[in-house]
Structure formats: C-alpha cells, structure tokens
Amino acid sequence: MTFSPSSILVTGGAGFIGSNFIHAFIANNPDCRVTNLDCLTYAGNLANLKGVEHHPHYRFVLGDIGDAALVATILAGEKIDAVVHFAAESHVDRSITGPEIFVRTNVLGTQTLLEESRKHWQAGAVADFRFLQISTDEVYGSLGESGYFTEETPLAPNSPYSASKAGADLLVRAYHETYGMPTLNTRCSNNYGPYHFPEKLIPLLIHNIINQKSLPVYGDGRNVRDWLHVRDHAAAVETVLKAAASGSVYNIGGNNEWRNIDIVNLVCDLLDSRLGRAAGENRKLITFVTDRPGHDRRYAIDASRLKRDLGWEPAYTFERGIAETIDWYLANQEWVGEVTSGSYREYYAQQYGGRP
C-alpha cells in the first residue's frame, strides 16, 4: 500500500543529504508541504536550498531537534504526517575529538523527536503517520576482505559517531516495539555529490586539488568505502517513506566499493585534464598521514532487500556521478568559498534579518 504524505517535517534539511532530498522531494511532490527544521550548525547552509526557498509549500524553521516545545508546535501546527529525520552530527573525525555533541544531537535529539512524534501520532491528529530515521551502514562496524552488511548484521559501531547513530536506531526500534509507532529505518553507505561539505573525503580532495594543497590519505589508504550518489539516496528514502511496511529496516547502497587510494588517484586524474595540468601532476599532492583511531577497514552494503521489496535501484553509474560531482564543484567555487570561510552565514542574515 502506498502512503502519500501531505505535510512532512524534514530535520537537517540544510545539510548535504537533507537539502538534496528536499530539492528532489518538492519536484516530485509539489502539493506536499515541507517544513525544514534545522539549527544551522557549521554543516547547515541555507544556500543549499536556493531554488526551493520561495516554493509556496516550503517553510524553514530555525531550531533544534532537542527543543521539545518547538517540535510539538511544528507537528501540530503543520499537521505533520511524516518525519524524515536527517539532522545529525555526521563527521567521524569530529566525533573522535568531541563526542559529546554527537550524543546530544544524535541520541538525545532523536529521542525528543521520537517522543513528540509519539504524542502527536497517538493524539490521532493525522490519519496516517510515519517516522523515518536516516542512518548509516557504519552502525554495523567494520568488514574484513569479504562479505556484506545485511539488515540482520548485528550492530557493532566503532566510532563515537556510529555509536550515537546506532543508539538512535535502537530507540527508533524501541518506539516501534513498545508503542507500535509506525517507524522506518534506512542505513546508507557513503554518499557523494553536490553540496557536500569539504571536510569529507571526496569534496576535500576536489577542493584541495583545485587549490594545490596536500591530499591527506589516512593510514595505508586501503580502507574500502561503498559510494552512492546522494540523489540515489534521496530517491531511495522517498521510496521507503511511501512504500515500506511499518517497523522495517532497509540498507541503501550502490554496490560500488573503492579503496580510498584508488578514489584519490581517480579524482586527481580527472582533475588533471579539467584544470589543464600535466598527466600525473595532481597525484604529487598525495600525502600519507597518521591513521584515524579505530578506522573501520571496509564497508560494503547488501541492498538487495530494497530492490526485491520496493524495486529501488541506483540510477547513477559511478563514472557519471563522480564526473558530474567534480564539474559541479568547479562550477560552484563561490559556494565552496562561502562554506570554507563561514561567510555563508551572511546569507541567513540577509534572508531572515538576523544571525543563526
């Protein structure tokens, strides 16, 4: 049975994946209201939403998912029938140097959203309701040379980031089991694409190569990640929201494993020609650095359940996705300059007459 939401609450919609989701969702569902609740951390940028901000059914609310009164007001006021929960602290390296905010936002913030959603759903304010928790394959821990994460793989997170996401996923499960709340949980592999903050591997590489800065490769560079274009992730989330059964968990991935060093070499080579540099020039920027503590060796997702049950498959080949991503960064140097300098906060001030 297909669920057709009429008013959704997107949390973290000013971040990388949330903003890509909002662009796609509004294009596909122009009659559905979309409320974006985001507190605009360093990773939240309203310039990611240019093009939808004046859409009659889009509304931005500056606020924290941990603010129970605000969340309750939005749920009731907007008659929200689906929560799509992206808001999080998302960078593993930051979680190693400062884990506390990860617990506060990812665990306690999710708990607040769940609790306010439970009250709203139990009050019967809307005919149907879904809570979709966006999560990561990192909750499963690390793989050896072979094998894949399935939805049955036990949770074994290794970083404060993945531990906080696993904690949130378990709370979502508990709300379904205890209260019968209609929850959904997706766990996706590493994303890449437009609006990706240049602290994560792929946008960092592009940014540093353009600026002829060194390319830090952690450890031996042989850690493996499974890369998916962010628009494929957004499409999968929309599919799960509309078609998955209450209480279900779905892995999302593109069957696209790369060793880090191979990605680094590929991005170097693609940018040699685009920047008019000699072949092999950019690879000279590669610098092996001390490994990340607790660095997961390999992630690989088995997303066959999603394909089998709901018919989702990625639309992007990696060849096309990485080429388009590099071209997007080259064409959007102003955006990169704004987020690296922090001046994008001026944009908020201009639009909303104050500072986040």
**Cα separation, 189 vs 92, whole angstroms:** 14
Shortest approach of ligand NAD to residue 57 CB, angstroms?
Answer: 20
Contacts of 239 (CB under 8 A, 6+ apart): 306, 310, 311, 312
Span of 41-49, 211-219, 235-243, 347-355 interacting with ligand TYD by CB under 6 A: 211-219
Q: Report the site for ligand NAD in 168-227 (rule: CB under 6 A).
A: 188, 190-191, 197
Shortest approach of ligand NAD to residue 275 CB, angstroms?
Answer: 26
Span of 26-34, 82-90, 236-244, 335-343 interacting with ligand NAD by CB under 6 A: 82-90
> Which one from 64, 81, 137, 226 is the annotated catalytic residue?
137
Nearest CA-CA partner of 291 in 199, 209, 221: 221
Residue 197 site contact among ligand TYD, ligand NAD, none (CB < 5 to 8 Å, cut-off depends on kind): ligand NAD
Q: Which is nearer to ligand NAD, 259 or 283 (CB)?
A: 259
User: Helix (H, G, I), strand (E, B), or coil: what is residue 356?
Assistant: coil
Beta strands 183-188 and 82-85 are unpaired
User: Looking at 83, 139, 184, 217, which residue binds ligand TYD (CB under 6 A)?
Assistant: 217
**Residue whose beta carbon is closest to ligand NAD:** 15
Q: Which residue has the tokens 């994946």?
A: 17
> Which one from 148, 161, 316, 344 is the annotated catalytic residue?
161
Residue 191 site contact among ligand NAD, ligand TYD, none (CB < 5 to 8 Å, cut-off depends on kind): ligand NAD
User: Looking at 5, 9, 16, 229, which residue binds ligand NAD (CB under 6 A)?
Assistant: 16
**Cα separation, 14 vs 285, whole angstroms:** 32
Distances (CA, A) of 251 to 14, 128, 189, 218: 23, 24, 8, 27
Q: Which is nearer to ligand TYD, 63 or 216 (CB)?
A: 216
Q: Name the strands in the sheet holding 33-38, side by side, starting at the edge strand that comes first in the sequence.
A: 58-62, 33-38, 7-11, 82-85, 130-136, 183-188, 249-252
**At residue 128, what are phi and psi to the nearest 5 degrees?**
-140, 155
Residue 225 binds ligand TYD, judged by CB under 6 A: yes
- In the annotation, is 161 catalytic? yes
User: Looking at 12, 141, 194, 203, which residue binds ligand NAD (CB under 6 A)?
Assistant: 12
| Per-residue contact flags (x/-) with ligand TYD for residues 88 to 117, judged by CB under 6 A | ----x-------------------------
Structure tokens at 179: 């209260």
- In the annotation, is 313 catalytic? no
Burial class (CB in 10 A: 0-12, 13-18, 19+), 279: exposed
Residue 201 site contact among ligand NAD, ligand TYD, none (CB < 5 to 8 Å, cut-off depends on kind): ligand TYD
Residue 216 binds ligand TYD, judged by CB under 6 A: yes
Provide the angle, in degrees to the nearest 10, between the axes of the packed helices 230-243 and 16-28.
60
Residue 184 binds ligand TYD, judged by CB under 6 A: no
